[in-house]
Amino acid sequence: MDESGKPAVLANTIPYIRNVDAEWKEILLRLECAALFFVLPVGLYWLRHLLAFKLMPILLLLALGCLIYLLTDRTFDRTLLWKTRPFITSMKQILVTFTGVAFFLAIFTFLFFEHRFFVFPINRPHAALTFALMYPLLGALPQEIIFKSFFFHRYRTLFPGPLSLILLNGLSFGLFHLWYANIIAPVFSVFAGMILAFRYLKTRSLLLITIEHSLLGIFLYVVGLGWFFYSGSIR
C-alpha cells in the first residue's frame, strides 16, 4: 500500500494510464488537423466542378460550425473575437504591409495580366463596390474564424513554435485555394495566409486580421486578379 492507501501497483499504473491517454489524444488531434486542413482541401479539388458555385454556403456553414465550437468551449477566450487593442499600432503595421503587398500585386498584374489591370472597377463599378462592401462579412470573416480563431485555438499546442505554426497555417490556407485550379490562387494564398497568421499571433484579434484580409482581398479583385479566385473560372 502507498501513503494514500492505494495498492502500490495501482498507484504506479494510474500515471502511466494518464500519459497513454494524453498521448492518444494528441495523436488523434494531429490526425484531425491533418485530415481537415491538409487532406480535405486536396480532396475538394477533385470535387470542384460539382461544388463550384456552392462555395459561399459551404464556407458560411463551416465558419458557423467553428464559431459554435469556440463559443461552447470554456477554455476559449471569447474576447479574442472582438478584441481591438492595440488598434492604432496594429493598423499602422497592417497599412504598411498592405501598401507593400498592393504595390507588388499592381506591378505583377500590369506585367503579366495587363488586359485585366483594374478592368473590374472600370467596367463594372457597381459590382466592384458591392463586392467591396460584402467581402469583409461574407468572405474574410468566415475564413478567419476557420483558419485563425478555430485553427489556433484547437491545434496551436501541436506545433513546436510560432514559425512552424505560421508556415503550416499558410500552407493549409493555400491548399484550400487549389479549388480554383490555377497556380495564382494557391501560391498567393499561401503567402497571404502566412501574413495573416503572423498578425494573429501578434494581436490575437479576429477583428484586426479580418480588416487586413479584407484590404488584401478587395484590392486583389480590384487590381485584376480576382478572376483567379472566382468560381466561374474553375475548369
Report pLDDT digits (tens) over 188-210: 999 999 999 999 999 999 999 99
d(CA 117, CA 205) in angstroms, rounded, equals: 33
pLDDT at 227 exceeding the cut of 50: yes
Q: Kindly give, in sequence order, each residue whose CB lies less than 8 Å from that of residue 10, ignoring residues fewer than 6 positions away.
A: none
- The domain limits of the chain are 8-233
For every residue of 184-197, DSSP letters joined together read HHHHHHHHHHHHHH
Q: What is the DSSP letter of 205?
A: -
Task: Specify whether the CB–CB gap between 210 and 140 falls below 8 A.
Answer: yes
Q: What is the pLDDT of residue 54?
A: 85
pLDDT tens column, 86-138:
889 999 999 999 999 999 999 999 999 999 999 999 999 999 999 999 999 99
With bands split at pLDDT 50, 70 and 90, how would you rate the model's confidence at 12? Answer: low
Backbone angles phi, psi at 86, to 5 degrees: -85, 105
Of 107, 93, 86, the residue nearest 196 (C-alpha): 93
With bands split at pLDDT 50, 70 and 90, how would you rate the model's confidence at 22? Answer: confident
With bands split at pLDDT 50, 70 and 90, how would you rate the model's confidence at 10? Answer: very low
d(CA 36, CA 216) in angstroms, rounded, equals: 25
d(CA 101, CA 198) in angstroms, rounded, equals: 15
Q: How many CB atoms lie within 10 A of CB 202?
A: 15
Q: What is the pLDDT of residue 234?
A: 73
204: left (phi over 0), alpha (psi -120 to 50) or beta: left
pLDDT at 144 exceeding the cut of 90: yes
Cis peptide leading into residue 86 (ω within 30°):
yes
Mean pLDDT across 227-235: 83
Q: What is the pLDDT of residue 6?
A: 52
Q: How many CB atoms lie within 10 A of CB 60?
A: 15
Burial class (CB in 10 A: 0-12, 13-18, 19+), 207: middle
With bands split at pLDDT 50, 70 and 90, how would you rate the model's confidence at 84? Answer: confident
Question: Which residue is listed with cell 475564413?
Answer: 143
**37-51, 143-157, 164-178: which has the minimum mean pLDDT?**
37-51
The three grid cell numbers given for residue 200, joined into one nine-digit string: 494573429
With bands split at pLDDT 50, 70 and 90, how would you rate the model's confidence at 187? Answer: very high
Q: What is the pLDDT of residue 1?
A: 53
Of 148, 121, 125, the residue nearest 211 (C-alpha): 148
Q: What is the pLDDT of residue 97?
A: 97
pLDDT at 16 exceeding the cut of 90: no
